[in-house]
Amino acid sequence: MAVVASAALAAGCSSGTTPPTADPTTTPATSGSPTPSATDPGPSYSNWELGVHLLPVDADGFGEIQPTPKALRVRRFPTTDLLPAPTDDVFHSAIGPITAAIRTRMGATWSEACPVGLEGLRYLNVTFRGFDGKAHTGELVVAADEATGVVSVFKTLFAADFPIEEMRLPTTADLDAPPTGDGNNTAALVCRAARGTTTWSAHAYGLAIDVNPFLNPYAKGDLVLPERASAYLDRSRSQPGIIHSGDLVVREFARIGWSWGGSWNSLKDYQHFTATGR
């Protein structure tokens, strides 16, 4: 399910294990106000600003589930670059350790109490295609043993022009943000329990990634996360960025031994890919 449910809001690997060159020390909690692409303006988003329309909080601590606003029903926000974008429209990647600066940025999404130490994690940069058609640089923290495989998945998705809106590290600001139910960040590590349990989530080990969570929501009973994404429970939708059974995204994660939450029976977690089966 969504890595941070309350957030306003987851060429080959030529650099091997070389640490990424981009190592910013701060990251905004949201992608900011979208500006339609000059070449493909798409629908008008002038009446919607991401991350600012707060939802009432229910007894379980989630935002109140509300219908999907018109501006979000065909979602194609352009990506705000937080890391330098590639200039050659070619896939680039880097795998590196968790440096002190990256650890600072992670904030409360990791602590000494987490089930995997920093030495067992890796910081990834991968190129991804945005809904604006441009190449962007994303970042993920995943388990060290899975880093190369994860990079290979995103290399294939980039080659296929599978669009991703945002891919940045979740931070303390995300954990503390009141619910807006419109987040769409593709992300991996957040050290927390699995929803509705006291056991560690696969995200806590860096063994799960949520892809385009707004377009591929979590649903169990009356609960939908992100809370404004109900329109995307209609899985007959075929717009770019939506994940379907047997499609390229599912096949690529299966190739590295990961399974898809969209195939579960007791609930549906269409955004969720996991190396642990949960």
Which domain range does residue 192 map to? 85-274
Give residue 50's pLDDT.
94
**Is 15's pLDDT higher than 70?**
no
242 assigned to some structural domain: yes
Give residue 198's pLDDT.
80
Residue 4's pLDDT band (cuts 50, 70, 90): low
Distances (CA, A) of 113 to 119, 173, 191: 14, 20, 9
55 assigned to some structural domain: no
102 assigned to some structural domain: yes
Give the DSSP H or E segment for 269.
strand 268-269
69 assigned to some structural domain: no
22 assigned to some structural domain: no
Structural domain count, the chain:
1
92 assigned to some structural domain: yes
CA–CA distance, 51 with 108 (Å, rounded to integer): 20
Write the pLDDT tens digit of every residue in 50-68. 999 999 999 988 999 999 9
Give residue 192's pLDDT.
83
11 assigned to some structural domain: no
Write the pLDDT tens digit of every residue in 136-185. 999 999 999 999 999 999 999 999 999 999 999 999 999 999 999 999 99
Q: State residue 166 phi and psi, 5-degree precision.
A: -155, 145
Give residue 8's pLDDT.
32
223 assigned to some structural domain: yes
